[in-house]
A and B are shown apart, each in its own frame.
Chain A
């Protein structure tokens, strides 16, 4: 029997039972829709995240911190450490940072912010390609009371205004104030490595440390930013720094950090795809069920076909074609639906990651929150994964259709003809 005849007969059989066929197809549609939506969304999400990370992290900057998100590791950095690292081969510049939380007062308003004590010249050298000023500039020479503000939609103060900063000093009842002059405001950048720039405040490191010393509090730098001559040296320098601190410091090399983030994303994608595949598998089982019922109902038809001289193989092919048509139909409907869902969620999901969830987690000013709001995940339409989805649907339907089809083909013609 020719292909056209078999397909036409199968199509006829399916269209005869419209409700049943559409319900069976629906299972495949949902499975394919999930798989296509997940794969194109996660593709888009991965691109977005890695763009965000590569723009946030500079490949030629190694970040060394005393601890991760979950507390310190017992190590502290001193100026001598920064000097030593500066002398490592391949290091362009190393600079220390000290982080603190403060309240900034101006004109009856106040805002809680993260304050960094930095060596401005070195700091701006490290992030030379990232940090630019919206207003003002770095004064030369730098004054003790120089204050640079990170970007904010509504800055607490403008350039050349004097603000009061209130420091919280642990183990000390009450707060200490100091006055600073706003000399410049950075452009919107979000964050640089692990350093939050937007909404943060920057003062000279010496000023910060002197202030604490004056109050009899010993403090140390908590971060060293190391710029390397070539991004390819980042890993090597990272390793050297790691052994310099005997493994007690937290060394973040941008490329490996991005890689591990992508590994996590890949893992999540595989996990979600597995769920989608289970949906498809369930659809496959329902196809098998429906086809078994169909074979039973059409026993007589099978008997007739055999009496007319159809070979077992022809009967088998016909029933397999019916299953495969369901798979094909299901994926043809499921793919555009999946892409639609991906587009929809790509627009909706980032909105759900609002400042409250993301920024609040970081605390203080929150640099990530603003990035979340403007973010739209553009689904990646990958022809290969779409082709894979179709193949997968066909494989599932054919595999699950095989048993009923074999059952049909093995029917004894006389018994089948007598079947009521």
Chain B
């Protein structure tokens, strides 16, 4: 049943006519003014743009953290607008993994407990969660740092913990908001390579919002956002992607 449904929806993420306006006091600020976007399973999409272009808002809306003012988003064919807050939370915990610029780890918890958290949220026992968390820490190369707290770790290590946390429930989508924004060049590159590797090896779709140009170079597809709408879209000219991505990527207009 589930398989059929997924097959019927060739897009993992499908968003049409997304608009988002905020009220800032009396003024109304438009963050998104009509964005159409689709992501297929396993795709690596970079969303580039200057600050204030609406790219973070787009990511939050795609991830079900925020609701659009207009338009719809379907994740795995499920229209997010039809979901109650609690169901939206379940989508976030099971289908989406978030990676943030400032890592957003809980400072009072060890690396292991941070990574365990999403598994515990979906109801895993502490034992199961711990087992999975250890695997994830191993995947990001931090098996030796499990008991350390975020404050005892470097930025790069913290971001790895955050990635491990995003991966623990094996979501089909990883959404990263400026994952290199708070790291030095070398560490940033390592993090991007890690994300790219996970994307290729696990087949999890990866959407990265950034103004780090290297993200665009690594992605299968790069979207430029300006003043809340897409101004350009470019497919990577790379062997591993040319055939498939050209067919599947992008949204039919």
Contact = CB atoms under 8 A, between A and B. Distances in A.
A8 to B, nearest CB: 7
Given A2-B120, A5-B120, A414-B60, A309 B106 contact: no
A417 interface: yes
A2 B125 CA distance: 7
B104 A311 contact: no
Given A8-B126, A309-B122, A417 B89 contact: no
B89 A310 contact: yes
A413 B177 CA distance: 15
A308 B66 contact: no
Interface stretch (A150-158, A220-228, A298-306, A394-402): A298-306
Contact of B123 (A1, A412, A417): A1
A308 B92 contact: yes
DSSP majority for the A interface? Answer: helix
Given A1-B121, A5-B120, A309 B93 contact: yes
B142 interface: no
B118 interface: yes
A114 B95 CA distance: 93
A239 B113 CA distance: 77
A162 interface: no
Contacts of A417: 65, 100, 104
A309 B64 CA distance: 10
B93 A308 contact: yes
Interface string B104-126: 11101100010001101111111
B86 A313 contact: yes
B72 interface: no
Interface string B74-85: 000000000001
A305 B66 CA distance: 14
A12 B118 contact: no
A278 interface: no
A313 B109 CA distance: 21
A309 B92 CA distance: 5
- Of A16, A300, A417, which is in contact with the most chain B CB atoms at under 10 Å from its CB? A417
B93 to A, nearest CB: 2
A117 B103 CA distance: 96
Nearest to A17: B108
- Of A12, A303, A311, which is in contact with the most chain B CB atoms at under 10 Å from its CB? A311
Interface residues of B, number: 33
Nearest to B116: A5
Contacts of A314: 121
Interface residues of A, number: 26
Interface string A305-331: 111111111100000000000000000
B65 A307 contact: yes
B94 interface: yes
Contacts of B90: 309, 311
A5 B124 CA distance: 9
Interface string A280-308: 00000000000000000000110111111
A109 interface: no
Given A1-B121, A16-B108, A307 B98 contact: yes
A311 B65 contact: no
A184 to B, nearest CB: 81
Contact of B104 (A8, A300, A313): A300
A412 B61 CA distance: 13
B229 interface: no
Given A4-B126, A311-B89, A414 B65 contact: yes
Contact of A307 (B86, B92, B120): B92
Given A1-B120, A2-B123, A311 B108 contact: no
A363 B239 CA distance: 113
A8 B117 CA distance: 11
Nearest to B177: A417
A304 B65 CA distance: 11
Contacts of B129: 5
B165 interface: yes
Interface in A225-265: none
Contacts of B109: 12
Interface in A1-44: 1-2, 4-5, 8, 12-13, 16
Nearest to B86: A311
B121 A308 contact: yes
B80 to A, nearest CB: 14
Interface string B124-137: 11100100000000
A409 to B, nearest CB: 10
A303 B106 CA distance: 11
Contact of B66 (A1, A2, A16, A413): A413
A8 B116 CA distance: 12
Nearest to B93: A309
Contact of A309 (B66, B108, B118, B125): B118
A309 B94 contact: yes
A304 B86 contact: no
- Of A8, A301, A309, A314, which is in contact with the most chain B CB atoms at under 10 Å from its CB? A309
A119 to B, nearest CB: 84
B89 A312 contact: yes
Contacts of A5: 120, 126, 129
- Of B93, B98, B109, B129, which is in contact with the most chain A CB atoms at under 10 Å from its CB? B93
Given A306-B65, A309-B94, 20 more contacts: A1-B121, A1-B123, A2-B123, A2-B126, A4-B126, A5-B120, A13-B108, A303-B104, A305-B117, A307-B65, A308-B92, A308-B98, A308-B118, A308-B121, A309-B93, A310-B93, A312-B85, A313-B86, A412-B66, A417-B100
12 contacts: A2-B125, A5-B120, A8-B126, A304-B104, A305-B121, A306-B89, A308-B93, A309-B91, A309-B92, A311-B86, A313-B86, A412-B66
Interface of A: 1-2, 4-5, 8, 12-13, 16, 300-301, 303-314, 412-414, 417
Task: List the 3 shortest-distance A-B pairs measured between CB atoms, nearest first.
Answer: A309-B93, A309-B92, A5-B120
